[in-house]
Amino acid sequence: MSISCLAQEWTHVKTIKLKNEITAQSVDTDGKIYLGTMAGDMLRYDQDGNETELYSAVGNFPVTLISAWNRFKVFLFFKSPQQFIFLDRFSTSPITYSLADYQRPLVTLCAPGVDNSVWALSADYNELRKYNIQNSNVLLTNPLQINLSNASYMQAYQNLVLISDTQQGIHFFDQYGNLQFSHPEKGVSYFQVINDQLVFLAGAWITTIEVFSPANITKIKAPLGGFNNVLKWGDRYYFIGKDQVLIYQLML
C-alpha cells in the first residue's frame, strides 16, 4: 500500500446556506452540485455556488441518495417510502418508480446501474440485487458474506459496484456482486468517483483512492469546520455541513 500526505493551503470562496438539513449530495460530469434535503427538495448549483435549479418536494420525504453521474437522468432514492426517481432532462416531469414492484425486502440503498438497471441493497436479507428498470425482472441476486447493516452510499462505476459502510469502510464489488476489495476506514458516509478516483471525507482527512489500483492512496488535511462530507471538482472542494456548504479552493 502506498499512502502520501500532501501539504496545502485553503482559500474560502463562498458559503451556501440552505433552509433545510442536507441529507444527500452528488456532482455531475459538468461540475454541477446537487443537494437533497430533509424536506424532499433537490437543489442544483453551478461551480461558483449559484443556484441554477430547484425541484421542490420531489418525493415529500428526505432524500436518501442522489446519483448525478448521468446528468441527463439524475437519480434520487427515498428510503421512505421506498421509491426512486429519475429527473429526466427530456421529460417535463420526474419519473417515479416504486420498489414494491421490484422486491419485498426493505431496500437500504438503491443506485442506478450503467446498463438501464438499478442495484438494490437489502440489509434485512444481506443481499445485493440487480434489476431491469423496464420490466422489474431480477438480473442477479447475490447473498453477501459481510454484514452491511451500516451501509451509507452506493454507486455503480464501470464494472464495479462500490458501497460505503460507516463502520467498515468502502467495499469494491464486481459486476456480479462479488466482493473484490475492502478499504477499512470508519466514518465514511459518502464518496465521489471521478476520473477513476474515489474521493471521500473521513474525520479530518480527504482521502483519494485509485479505483483500479486501490493500494494507491493520497490524503489531504481538510480545513477546520466539522464537516460531514465533501465534493470535489477541479481545485475546488465543497464541504457539506448540516445545512450549509462551504466552498474552498485548494492551493498545493
- Bigger pLDDT: 115 vs 229: 229
* pLDDT value of residue 13: 96
Measuring CA to CA, which residue among 105, 102, 97, 51 is closest to residue 78? 97
* pLDDT value of residue 106: 87
Burial of 38 (0-12, 13-18, 19+ CB in 10 A): middle
- Report field, pTM of the whole predicted structure over 0.85: yes
The rounded distance, in Å, linking the Cα atoms of 160 and 178 is 10
* pLDDT value of residue 59: 73
Grouping H, G, I as helix, E, B as strand and the rest as coil, residue 243 is: coil
Count structural domains, the chain: 1
- Evaluate if residue 6 carries a pLDDT over 80: no
**Percentage of residues in the chain having pLDDT higher than 70:** 95
**Percentage of residues in the chain having pLDDT higher than 90:** 77
The rounded distance, in Å, linking the Cα atoms of 217 and 77 is 30
User: Per-residue pLDDT tens for 54-66?
Assistant: 888 787 899 999 9
For 162, what's the count of Cα atoms within 13 Å in the CB-facing half-sphere?
25
Mean pLDDT of 122-136: 88
* pLDDT value of residue 3: 64
* pLDDT value of residue 4: 60
185 lies in which domain range? Answer: 2-251
In this structure, what CATH number is given to the domain that contains residue 17? 2.130.10.10
The rounded distance, in Å, linking the Cα atoms of 65 and 77 is 5
User: Per-residue pLDDT tens for 168-225?
Assistant: 999 999 999 999 999 999 999 999 999 999 999 999 999 999 999 999 999 999 999 8
The rounded distance, in Å, linking the Cα atoms of 171 and 161 is 8
